[in-house]
């Protein structure tokens, strides 16, 4: 069965529970055993309900006859769900780290946290530069270019400019 067939098997708003040797659907996940693309061996695709792409595709064990795949079972399915969930969690953490940066600086004896959050807008990508005091109270926020580089020096310069938009000559 192809990856497209596995994707189609995972579609549906309220999928039923299925426990078959090559297809398990339960707890919001579908595991589908597939013939390897290279033709020698088997793979398993883990697809989270509602997602168009598998979260995980990995090798699958051969059965005792060395030609057919080992059947899925509860223990294997649970391990696959845990592994696929971890892959998704790490991906989300990576995206957050890329799209959210912060630096803590001290200016005039005050500790200020400056954050930069990228906004991946298709038509106007940009970022939001913001500052908070030591108690988490907002001090300022301004829209900046998506390629703005947040470093301690750029944060201090922004604070010392009375939070004027970087690159502009006007004050707040």
pLDDT, tens digit, for every residue of 108-167? Answer: 999 999 999 999 888 999 999 999 999 999 999 999 999 999 999 999 999 999 999 987
Report residue 21's pLDDT band, with 50, 70 and 90 as the boundaries: very high
pLDDT of 64 higher than 90: no
Measured between alpha carbons, how far is 61 from 93 in angstroms, rounded to an integer? 30
Show the domain range for 66: 3-98
Q: Are residues 59 and 79 in the same domain?
A: yes
Do 43 and 34 contact (CB within 8 A), yes or no? yes
Total domains, the chain: 2
Residue 171 lies in a domain: no
**Residue 62 and residue 9 in one domain:** yes
Same domain, 113 and 83: no
32-45 residue pLDDT tens: 999 887 777 899 99
pTM for the structure as a whole? 0.62
Confidence at residue 126, expressed as pLDDT on a 0 to 100 scale: 94
Contact 121, 94 (CB under 8 A): no
| The predicted structure's pLDDT at residue 63 | 85
DSSP designation for 18: E
């Amino acid at each position: 069965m192809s990856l497209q067939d596995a994707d189609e098997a995972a579609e549906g708003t309220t999928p039923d529970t299925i426990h078959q040797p090559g297809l398990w659907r339960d707890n919001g996940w579908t595991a589908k055993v597939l013939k390897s693309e290279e033709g020698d061996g088997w793979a398993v695709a883990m697809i989270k309900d509602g997602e168009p792409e598998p979260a995980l595709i990995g090798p699958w064990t051969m059965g005792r006859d060395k030609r057919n795949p080992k059947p899925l079972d509860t223990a294997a399915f649970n391990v696959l769900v845990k592994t696929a969930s971890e892959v998704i969690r790490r991906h989300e953490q990576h995206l957050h780290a890329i799209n959210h940066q912060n630096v803590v600086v001290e200016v005039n004896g005050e500790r200020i946290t400056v954050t930069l959050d990228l906004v991946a807008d298709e038509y106007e990508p940009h970022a939001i530069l913001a500052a908070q005091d030591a108690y988490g109270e907002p001090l300022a926020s301004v829209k900046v270019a998506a390629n703005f580089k947040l470093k301690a020096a750029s944060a201090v310069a922004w604070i010392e400019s009375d939070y004027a938009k970087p690159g502009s000559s006007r004050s707040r």
